[in-house]
A and B are shown apart, each in its own frame.
Chain A
């Protein structure tokens, strides 16, 4: 088991992410005109909670920033500051910085102080001087957790220089739930204590206010503790009791205020120079005199408990005038007051929380996902056996199997949903990208999001962040026109970027659109031609031109802006989407804007595939990469060199690859007449054709990685297990094409037969 503190620390950063999300939500609501005081409260609490946790881990920078941010928020909360839109921008920026600090802290880093100070000083300028004034005393409150406070060290006093402490509770002390008995015990824990209870002030019974305070104590304490240590014991009752501390080696008593009758112990205090000599004997006459040491003696407790009524609630059944809310210490001697069962019951109560959620180790979920994968395979195998056994479909076996299939599918869906998360966190990160990107290019941009609750596999979300970031930056940087052009085109100065997510027929569709000028197709074509990406004068549809954007190295920016030159192009975006089993498409309307649409599988654990056979081997081709299937005629094949063929289809030529040859299952046959061709989209938007023998079926397959058991196989993405229990390989068409590029037969000599 790992260090519990490290676990809490990890959990703290997860909580921070949630709090940052709540903060973003709250700020967005405020920006949208939400005046509910609870909204700013939520923001305040989010920052405040981060500060509280950060303090515990000594994350000084996070504490400091959160504190000052929170202080300005408090101004809003109290109504002293009404944020305008500029202020909201600042609050958002501060939230961004806060999120950076959280991440830096998590990774054991710190942020550049200048960046932080810049935002903070702008924030504090908003709130005016009141905030800055408060600043000075604060940092002392947020020291990281320390292990100081050892009562016994260093010794400041010899054991033979005892302290004399006089403690006289006021009635408020009892009302606050404090209990002299516990205070005295805590005091006794500092050393050897001689406690005398003074009963003089106790009135006759009929004059006795049951909630009054009549007792006082004089304690002689032999302890190396300092006066501060002693005062710390009485910290909670400061102001609701009369406390005098004297003794030590003539310890100064300036702090002893309200004490007419300070009592140095006559017997033991020899060098005391303190005032107020006399009266102890009178005070203690007839009073119980006991000595408390650690651990407490039952007798001491009993004697202490003997006193006349202390403040107490309504009459107790026991009729004991002195009793406390807490269990009597003496009860410890009695049979266990709280059986183990009570403890369990209490825990069960605590478990019934308002929004019950369970945090589960991801490994456990993955194990469950794997097991369900097994179940799906097993069920498919069973179905196949039943089919082969010629069992009639109306038999109970077949019907039972039908239900089993349905259940299996439901279980699979439910298990996949465990890994699913709303895209909200991802979208929130994008709103920051928009803020940063728009300020970098000096455009006014508004981001509108929709479908934030749409759930996608956790891994998909994580791996979507980079491509989406790039697309959003592109939309701001290249998609939207400059303010001047927008105004000239009769649009509002503020550009609009829309980010939406939705479930559509078993997939997740995420769209990024802008209301900019649309793709300048003439210019795109020119660039592609000038870079030699396409032959000059090639007839191309609008869609084909738009797809040129996905060509490696393509950039339409006239100049390198701040955002460009990051070395990421749309080709990389496309391949990251494809790695997730997704597709990306583009559509553009001149003058009105451009939309990029990403379609993704709901999960990475299963895949929609086309099961095909090639040279007797069964293979799965991801459905997402197949554009179209055709039946092949020999006269459609054109040879363009030794072993290199292209397919002539609808006035264009597509590179042709024989799958069985490419994978080394056989050498090229005499004829392809009657073979099936799968038209595949390649990474760069161009197409390729793949020859297979037959198409078996379309089905969902459970993905089994090969990487761990064997390693990477060129052209192969993963494996799966089919209904007959056999392993089938899942193709990686893009990888395959790049390995064998247009060569139908020439790969023969480089590949040895593996089977």
Chain B
């Protein structure tokens, strides 16, 4: 069985693509539409890694990461930020919020899977 992933993005297209890319890698993907929704879904999960967008309604990615990190259970859960910018400030800000790494949209599915393996281990290859 592959990794269990929680992916949070307000764009249906990106969610669809994440689900497809992760599904093809054999990962079990759970989806949420914004930060608050992400926290709701997270409450029923112990994902191996979390992927989150930054710009989202209700609760943005930074708020979401902070909220996740404040839960002892998820203090060290790897979190990848999905971002359209690769500006260094954004990476710095993501890391300051507690992110583990980042993926620049549009993401390459293989690279996404490699990045997840880099932060969360390979699951069972």
Residues B95 and A176 in contact, CB atoms below 8 Å apart = yes
CA distance A49 to B13 in the complex (A): 9
A336 within 8 A of B: yes
Residues of B within 8 A of A183 (CB): 118
CB of B79 to closest CB in A, whole Å:
6
A181 within 8 A of B: yes
Cα distance A11–B16 in the bound complex, in angstroms: 9
Nearest chain A CB to B108 CB, angstrom units: 6
Interface size class of B (residues with CB under 8 A): 35 or more
- Residues B20 and A8 in contact, CB atoms below 8 Å apart: yes
Q: Decide yes or no whether A665 CB sits under 8 A from chain B.
A: no
Q: Which of A301-352 contact B (CB under 8 A)?
A: 311-314, 324-327, 329, 332, 336-338, 343, 345-347, 349-350, 352
> Quick one: given A175-B98, A329-B122, are A55 and B110 in contact (CB under 8 Å)?
no
Shortest distance between the CB of B82 and any CB in chain A (Å): 8
**A80 in the interface (beta carbon within 8 A):** no
Compute how far the CA of A6 lies from the CA of B108 in the bound complex, rounded to whole angstroms. 16
Complex Cα gap A67–B68 (Å): 30
Give the interface centre of B36, B41, B95 by most chain A CB atoms within 10 Å.
Answer: B95
Residues of B within 8 A of A174 (CB): 76
> Which of A11, A45, A326 sits near B78, CB closer than 8 Å?
A326
Instruction: Give A143's nearest chain B residue, CB to CB.
Output: B106
Contacting residues of chain B (1-56) with chain A, CB-CB under 8 angstroms: 1, 3-4, 10-14, 16-17, 20, 28, 30-33, 36-37, 40-41, 44-45, 48-49, 53, 55-56
Q: Are A350 and B106 in contact (CB under 8 A)?
A: no
CB-CB under 8 A for A15 and B33, given A186-B118, A329-B122, A349-B41: no
Contact status of A53 and B13, CB under 8 A, knowing A141-B84, A346-B45: yes
Contact B20 A5 (CB under 8 A): yes
The residue from B14, B37, B95 contacting A354, defined by CB atoms under 8 A apart: B37
Count of residues in A whose CB is under 8 Å from the partner chain: 70
Chain A contacts for B41, CB-based, 8 A: 349-350
Stretch from A232-240, A421-429, A670-678 contacting the other chain: A232-240
Q: Is the CB of A52 within 8 A of B78?
A: no
Please state if A48 and B55 are interface contacts (CB–CB under 8 Å). yes
Chain B residues with CB under 8 A of A326: 3, 48-49, 77-78, 120-121
Minimum Cβ distance to chain A for residue B26 (Å): 12
Contact pick for B105, options A44, A45, A55, A347, CB 8 Å: A55
- Is A42 an interface position by the 8 A CB rule? yes
Report the minimal beta-carbon distance from B30 to chain A, rounded to whole angstroms: 4
**Cβ contact within 8 Å between B98 and A177:** yes
B121-A182 in contact (CB<8A): yes
A178 touches B84 (CB 8 A): no
- Shortest C-beta distance, A618 to chain B (Å), equals 49
Instruction: Tell me whether A177 and B114 are in contact (CB under 8 A).
Output: no
Q: Does A179 contact B (CB under 8 A)?
A: yes
- A residues adjacent to B (C-beta < 8 A): 4-5, 7-8, 11-12, 15, 38, 41-42, 44-45, 48-49, 51-53, 55-57, 67, 141-149, 174-179, 181-183, 185-186, 233, 235-236, 239-240, 295-296, 311-314, 324-327, 329, 332, 336-338, 343, 345-347, 349-350, 352-354
Residues of B within 8 A of A (CB): 1, 3-4, 10-14, 16-17, 20, 28, 30-33, 36-37, 40-41, 44-45, 48-49, 53, 55-57, 72, 74-79, 84-86, 95, 98-102, 104-111, 114-115, 117-125
25 interchain pairs (CB within 8 A)? Answer: A7-B16, A11-B16, A12-B13, A53-B11, A55-B84, A56-B13, A57-B106, A67-B84, A141-B85, A142-B106, A147-B108, A148-B108, A149-B110, A179-B119, A182-B117, A236-B100, A236-B119, A313-B75, A332-B124, A338-B1, A345-B44, A347-B30, A349-B40, A353-B33, A353-B37
